[in-house]
């Protein structure tokens, strides 16, 4: 079953829809995730406060030691070395305590941040399972991957940096300024004049850089999509000598990312030098004016040393705050994209008491079915088909006729706009999607197998099958002999791309997987055109065994393979234009006859 995916295109659209949240709203949502671990947050805050208080106390105590020494020297009295040594011991304890509390705070916040990212990734995975198929048909695979991997990693890295340092920085700044006022009000006021100037310049820079960083995230998604698609389609690119054009397209996307990243990072990088300039200005005030006050006797030597240390203590966090703001805006830009994904409209949950019988017979009926991808443009207008249990129904038609869409409606990948689809007389809209889909097995052209053992892949739709049962199914599906020649038999690992088994083996495994599911209704998409004649014969035999006694819907490409179908539905432009058996349709000499004869015309 081939679905049209945006990710199948070599060229990625640069018009990915953007719905950025407001900065404050995004921060609030991130805090809601962290808020689930309140006890841990309180513990981290207490450790941060304790570490900061230890750091703030040290310069004040040191200034008192220096003042004592200065006074004794000026009065030419003996210096109390025992007292000085005792105070220095206290300072040592404070410095060690500062390190220990900082380590505790950092470790706790790292744990909480990673737990938050764990929950965020879990929510994303849950969301992915609830999104309708239409979302994946209309969004670039690379962009989705970027939102669910790169953006989440960016949030985790940036949020951890901000969360582990912001509290300590704020307490350090406030505490340093308060203690500076206790030493010299005039000098402290002069130093504080530089803070609003630094904040204004930072705000201006942030406003300009945030726009570019948001664009940078978007272009990163485009770039990931281009790389992913190039790797997956490398054989086609080389076969059509499309290397140069593919490189040109990559260069365009790469250049867009380069330009926005350059502009955003450059603007963000100017924040630190700007704030440093204002910090140096405050340091100059203290050194020049403070030295004059020491000479005139209005300020002690310990006081000026303490002022210098406190000025460094609050200036360093102020400078780092700009880096934290840069990290925060990066996290917010990434979070906006993640939350946009989490806010996508999910498949509607049907709450109903309707259920199917324990033993579904497999009778399917389409009654006056109507469907359109948009309400103003209907694709299917009035489809009526009744399929008895156990019948084999082939669906044929030119490309774009609506064959896959009809199957997608049967599986409730899309919802109808009118009419009904029933299974054993029960409207599928009155059932949950899970109740509908558990009655179907699929064998598609896209032979999807996941990274795991052959046995795990076969048990995908039925986890309780024993090893003996799996082997019986393998024999029925014409694959047991091939599996027995593999190094580990049914425990052989299929790698991520399935490159360690052939295309024919993949197809036989998907048939065996469908057999293992033991569902009453089958969806089959012929997939024998890319295998050799012998393997095609094995696949056809396995498919015939699979269909025995089950209702089967076959999207047919080789019309010679569906001559024995109980019904053949001929579709064109979304509607069924002919319906009947192979012989009756040939006698009508309509579209089916034209399609059938065209496959046997001699050149």
Q: How far apart are CA 413 and CA 133, in angstroms?
A: 6
- 404: in domain: no
HSE of 452, CA atoms in CB hemisphere, 13 A:
10
> 563: which residues sit within 8 A by CB, 6+ positions away?
582
Q: Tell how far CA 577 is from the center of its chain.
A: 43
Collapse the DSSP code of 349 into the 3-class scheme (helix H, G, I; strand E, B; otherwise coil) and give the result: coil
pLDDT of residue 6: 35
Name the 3-class secondary structure at 601. Answer: coil
Q: Which domain holds residue 267?
A: 19-340
Total domains present in the chain: 1
CA distances to 97, 103, 109, 164 from 47, rounded to whole Å, are 10, 9, 10, 11
- In 3D space, the residue among 433, 435, 439, 477 whose CA is nearest the CA of residue 457 turns out to be 477
Does any domain span residue 179?
yes
CB 590 within 8 A of CB 578: yes
Residues of the chain with pLDDT > 70, as a percent, come to 85
Whether 114 is covered by a domain: the verdict is yes
Both tokens assigned to 233: 């389609």
Residue 571: its pLDDT value, please? 93
* Contact predicate 336/21, CB 8 Å: yes
Q: Is residue 494 part of a domain?
A: no
At 12 the pLDDT is 32
Q: Where are the beta strands (DSSP E) in 237-300?
A: none
For 482: left if phi > 0, alpha if psi spans -120 to 50, otherwise beta; the answer is alpha
> Residue 112 maps to which CATH number?
1.20.1560.10
Contact call for residues 332 and 154 (beta carbons, < 8 A): no
Query: Is 542 a member of any domain?
Result: no
Nearest CA to 535 among 562, 487, 503? 503
pLDDT of residue 153: 86
CA 397 to mean position of chain CA atoms:
37
Cα–Cα distance for residue pair 458/516, rounded to 1 Å = 7
179-225 pLDDT, tens digit per residue, is 888 888 888 887 777 777 776 776 677 666 767 777 777 777 778 77
The number of helices, as runs of H, and strands, as runs of E, in the chain is 21, 12
Q: How many CB atoms lie within 10 A of CB 146?
A: 26
Which strands, in side-by-side order, build the sheet including 426-427? 380-387, 364-371, 418-423, 426-427
The total of other beta-carbon atoms located within 10 Å of residue 261's CB is 17
Give me the residues of the chain with pLDDT under 70, please: 1-22, 67-68, 70-80, 199, 202-203, 206-208, 210, 231-232, 235-236, 239-240, 267-272, 274-276, 278-279, 283, 318-319, 322, 350-353, 496-499, 526-533, 600-603
d(CA 178, CA 174): 6
DSSP string, 376-395: TB-SEEEEEEEE-TT-EEEE
Distance CA 34, CA 289 (A): 46
Kindly state the tokens that stand for 380: 């299917």
Residues 224/145, Cβ–Cβ less than 8 Å = yes
With beta carbons less than 8 A apart as the criterion, state whether 492 and 437 touch: no
The DSSP secondary-structure symbol of 374 reads: B
* pLDDT tens figures, 503-536: 888 888 888 888 888 889 999 886 555 566 677 7
In whole angstroms, what is the distance from residue 464 CA to residue 184 CA?
78
Phi/psi-derived region of residue 391, left when phi > 0, alpha when psi is between -120 and 50, beta in every other case: beta
> Is residue 366 within 8 Å of 384, Cβ to Cβ?
yes
Given a contact cutoff of 8 angstroms between Cβ atoms, the answer to whether 569 and 369 are in contact is no
Q: Is 416 a domain residue?
A: no
Q: How far apart are the first and last CA of the chain?
A: 30
Contacting residues for 161 by C-beta, under 8 A, at least 6 apart:
324, 327
Q: Which helix (H) or strand (E) holds 440?
A: strand 440-443
Strands 380-387 and 392-396: unpaired
CB 16 within 8 A of CB 214: no
**At residue 363, what are phi and psi to the nearest 5 degrees?**
-80, 125
Is the full-model pTM beyond 0.75? no
Q: Tell me, what's the pLDDT at 270?
A: 67
Q: Give the whole-angstrom CA distance, residue 121 versus residue 107.
A: 21
Identify whether 471 is part of a domain. Answer: no
How far apart CA 44 and CA 32 sit, in angstroms, is: 17
Instruction: Give the C-alpha separation, 169 to 173, whole Å.
Output: 6
Check: CB of residue 360 under 8 Å from CB of residue 424.
yes
């Amino acid at each position: 079953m081939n679905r049209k995916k945006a990710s199948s295109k070599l060229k990625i659209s640069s018009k990915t829809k953007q719905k950025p949240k407001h900065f404050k709203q995004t921060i609030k949502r991130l805090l809601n995730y962290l808020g689930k671990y309140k006890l841990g947050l309180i513990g981290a805050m207490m450790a941060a406060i304790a570490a900061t208080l230890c750091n703030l106390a040290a310069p004040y105590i040191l200034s008192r030691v220096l003042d004592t020494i200065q006074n004794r020297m000026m009065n030419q009295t003996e210096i109390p070395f025992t007292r000085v040594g005792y105070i220095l011991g206290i300072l040592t304890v404070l410095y060690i305590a500062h390190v220990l509390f900082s380590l505790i705070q950092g470790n706790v916040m790292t744990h909480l941040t990673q737990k938050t990212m764990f929950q965020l990734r879990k929510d994303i995975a849950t969301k992915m399972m609830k999104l309708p198929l239409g979302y994946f048909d209309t969004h670039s695979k690379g962009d989705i991957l970027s939102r669910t991997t790169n953006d989440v990693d960016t949030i985790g890295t940036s949020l951890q940096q901000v969360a582990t340092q912001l509290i300590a920085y704020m307490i350090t700044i406030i505490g340093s300024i308060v203690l500076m006022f206790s030493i010299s009000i005039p000098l402290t006021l002069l130093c504080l004049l530089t803070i609003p100037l630094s904040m204004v310049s930072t705000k201006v820079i942030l406003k300009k850089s945030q726009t570019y960083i948001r664009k940078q995230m978007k272009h990163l998604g485009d770039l990931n999509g281009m790389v992913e698609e190039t790797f997956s389609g490398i054989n086609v690119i080389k076969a059509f000598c499309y290397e140069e054009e593919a490189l040109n397209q990559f260069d365009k996307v790469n250049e867009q990312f380069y330009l926005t990243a350059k502009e955003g990072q450059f603007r963000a990088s100017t924040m630190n030098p700007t704030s440093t300039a204002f910090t140096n200005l405050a340091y100059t005030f203290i050194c020049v004016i403070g030295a004059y006050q020491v000479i005139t006797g209005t300020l002690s030597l310990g006081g000026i040393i303490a002022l210098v240390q406190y000025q460094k203590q609050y200036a360093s966090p102020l400078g780092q705050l700009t880096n934290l703001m840069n990290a925060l805006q990066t996290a917010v830009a990434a979070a906006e994209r993640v939350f946009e994904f989490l806010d996508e409209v999910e498949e509607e949950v049907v709450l109903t008491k309707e259920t199917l019988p324990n033993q579904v017979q497999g009778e399917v009926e389409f009654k006056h079915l109507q469907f359109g991808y948009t309400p103003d443009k209907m694709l299917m207008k009035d489809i009526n088909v009744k399929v008895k249990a156990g019948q084999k129904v082939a669906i044929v038609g030119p490309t774009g006729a609506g064959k896959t869409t009809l199957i997608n409606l049967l599986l409730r990948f899309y919802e109808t706009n009118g009419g009904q689809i029933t299974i054993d007389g029960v409207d599928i809209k009155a059932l949950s999607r899970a109740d509908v889909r558990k009655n179907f097995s699929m064998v598609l052209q896209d032979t999807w197998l996941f990274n795991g053992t052959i046995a795990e892949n076969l048990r995908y739709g039925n986890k309780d099958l024993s090893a003996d049962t799996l082997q019986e199914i393998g024999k029925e599906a014409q694959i047991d002999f091939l599996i027995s020649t593999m190094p580990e038999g049914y425990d052989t690992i299929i790698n991520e791309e399935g490159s360690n088994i052939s295309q024919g083996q993949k197809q036989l495994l998907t048939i065996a997987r469908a057999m293992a599911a033991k569902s009453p209704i089958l969806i089959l998409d012929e997939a024998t055109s890319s295998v050799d004649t012998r393997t095609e014969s094995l696949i056809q035999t396995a498919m015939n065994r699979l269909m025995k006694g089950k209702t089967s819907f076959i999207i047919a490409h080789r019309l010679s393979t569906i001559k024995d179908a109980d019904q053949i539905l001929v579709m064109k432009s979304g509607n069924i234009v002919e319906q009947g058996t192979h012989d009756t349709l040939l006698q009508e000499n309509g579209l089916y006859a034209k399609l059938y004869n065209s496959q046997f015309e001699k050149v």
